[in-house]
A = this chain, B = another copy of it.
C-alpha cells in the first residue's frame, strides 16, 4: 500500500479508531475533510477538544451531562416516581424521542457479561440499590434493557436483586414491531405478542 503524506496518515489512523470505520472509510473521510474549507476542519477539532472538558457524568443517573446534575434529574416537573434503567446514556435519547416516558433514568453503563469481565460490581448496580434505598418517591423501576442474552440476564439479575424493595419492577413489552406482518415474526416474538395481548 502506498505511503500517504503523514498528515493524511495521522488523521486516517484517528478516524479508523471510530466504531465501524475501516481504513477505506477513514481515507474517504480524510479526503472529504481535505475538500472542505479549513474552517470546517477547525470546527470539528474544536468540538473534539471541547468534549471531554465540558461533559461529565451525572452523579445521580450516570448519564453524560454538561451541568452539575443532568437536566432530567434536576427537573422537578419530571415524574420522580418512575425510574427507567437503561444500558447506556444514548438509550435515554432514544426513549426521550418517543415522548411517552416522563420519569427519571438510571444508566447501568453496560450489561452483565462475565466472559468479558463485566460483573455486577463494574456496572452501576450498587448505586441503583442505594438510590432506591434512599428514595421515598420511586414506586416503579422499568428495566428498559435490550432483549439479547446479556440484556435478559441482566434483567433477571436486577429483578432478583430489587425484589427486596416494595416497588413494582417492569420490563418493556415484547411483541410485533410497528408495521410488521405475522408471517415474518419469529416464534419468540409472536409467542410474546400472544401472551401479552391487549384489550382493544
| Partner-B contacts on A (CB < 8 A) | 1-8, 10-11, 13-15, 17-20, 25, 27-34, 36, 38, 40-55, 64-67, 71, 88-90, 92-93, 96-97
Contacts and interface: CB of A to CB of B under 8 A. Distances in A.
B97 A66 contact: no
A17 B40 contact: yes
A120 to B, nearest CB: 20
A116 to B, nearest CB: 15
Contacts of A52: 34, 38, 41
Contact of A55 (B8, B47, B67): B8
A41 B34 contact: no
Contact of A93 (B2, B10, B13, B42): B2
